[in-house]
């Protein structure tokens, strides 16, 4: 009963992982660039960053995905479905990465920066020795949450014809008429991703912890 259908489910899980690990780095790069835009003193860049984040955070993910999948070909840019979808995910979660990075930097107490400058540290060392170590530590947990959300968001691939875990679960259910088995298996897949990321986050946080 599980047989070849089970293989489809496994392939779906693989696709979910593939979409997630492709989309997250894209989101990360977009988020960093946007964050640099938003904390830079260059007004036009700040406005552009703010506009992007406001537009994307207030639109449904599915809308962005659908707009890219149906809109890009109409605009003369023919990309494979997979890449349209991954770009949509990356662009969407990039806005959230930007928010995380900005608030991570804001978390560092201004007094620390003033103190670092008062003892004469040059700008670069204020960044690398005082600001970034603390900011990065504050970002680990929220970035892990964004990674998990990217994996959950990849389920929307089922609405646009990407054969990832959720879509394979639906076909498994329709083919075998075993709803409980189908959805429990899929749930285990998503739980596994969740646990793995949480574990990774905990390890990273322990590594990044400072002894005071």
| Chain positions contacting other proteins, by CB under 8 A | 40-45, 48, 54-55, 58-63, 66-67, 70-71, 74-77, 110, 113-114, 117, 122-123, 126, 131, 148, 151-156, 158-159, 165-166, 169-170, 173-174, 177, 179-180, 182-183, 186-187, 190-191, 194
Minimum CB separation of residue 211 from other proteins in Å reads 26
Closer residue to other proteins (CB): 71 or 211: 71
| Cβ at position 109, least distance to other proteins in Å | 9
By three-state DSSP, how is residue 126 classified? helix
State in angstroms the smallest separation of the CB of 104 from other proteins. 15
Kindly give, in sequence order, each residue whose CB lies less than 8 Å from that of residue 100, ignoring residues fewer than 6 positions away: 31, 139, 142, 143, 146
Residue of 202, 205, 39 whose CA lies nearest to 137 = 205
Residue found under tokens 């928010």: 99
CB nearer to other proteins: give 27 or 165.
165
Rounded distance between C-alpha atoms, residue 40 and residue 56, angstroms: 20
In this complex, which beta carbon is closest to other proteins, that of residue 90 or of residue 153? 153
Look up tokens 């023919």; give the residue.
Answer: 78
- Judged by beta carbon, residue 122 or residue 211, the one nearer other proteins is 122
- Least gap, CB of 179 to other proteins (angstroms): 3
CB of 10 to other proteins, least distance (A): 16
| Length of the chain as a residue count | 212
Residue 111 vs 207, nearer CB to other proteins: 111
What is the rounded distance in angstroms from the CA atom of residue 35 to the CA atom of residue 145? Answer: 18
Q: b vs e for 84-104, b when ≥16 Cβ sit within 10 Å of the residue's Cβ?
A: bbbbbbbbbbbbbbbbbbbeb
């Amino acid at each position: 009963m599980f047989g070849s259908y089970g293989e489809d489910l496994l392939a779906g899980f693989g696709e979910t992982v593939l979409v997630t690990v492709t989309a997250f780095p894209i989101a990360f790069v977009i988020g960093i660039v946007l964050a640099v835009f938003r904390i830079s003193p260059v007004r036009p860049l700040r406005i552009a960053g703010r506009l992007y984040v406001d537009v994307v955070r207030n639109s449904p993910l599915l809308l962005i995905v659908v707009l890219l999948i149906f809109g890009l070909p109409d605009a003369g840019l023919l990309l494979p479905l997979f890449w349209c979808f991954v770009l949509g995910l990356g662009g969407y979660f990039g806005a959230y990465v930007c928010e995380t990075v900005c608030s991570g930097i804001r978390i560092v107490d201004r007094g620390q920066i003033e103190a670092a400058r008062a003892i004469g540290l040059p700008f670069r060392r204020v960044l690398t020795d005082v600001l970034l170590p603390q900011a990065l530590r504050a970002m680990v947990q929220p970035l892990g949450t964004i990674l998990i959300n990217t994996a959950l968001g990849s389920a929307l691939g089922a609405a646009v014809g990407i054969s990832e875990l959720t879509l394979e679960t639906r076909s498994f259910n329709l083919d075998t008429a075993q709803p409980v088995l189908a959805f429990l298996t899929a749930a285990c897949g998503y739980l596994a991703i969740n646990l793995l990321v949480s574990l990774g986050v905990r390890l990273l946080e322990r590594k990044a912890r400072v002894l005071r």
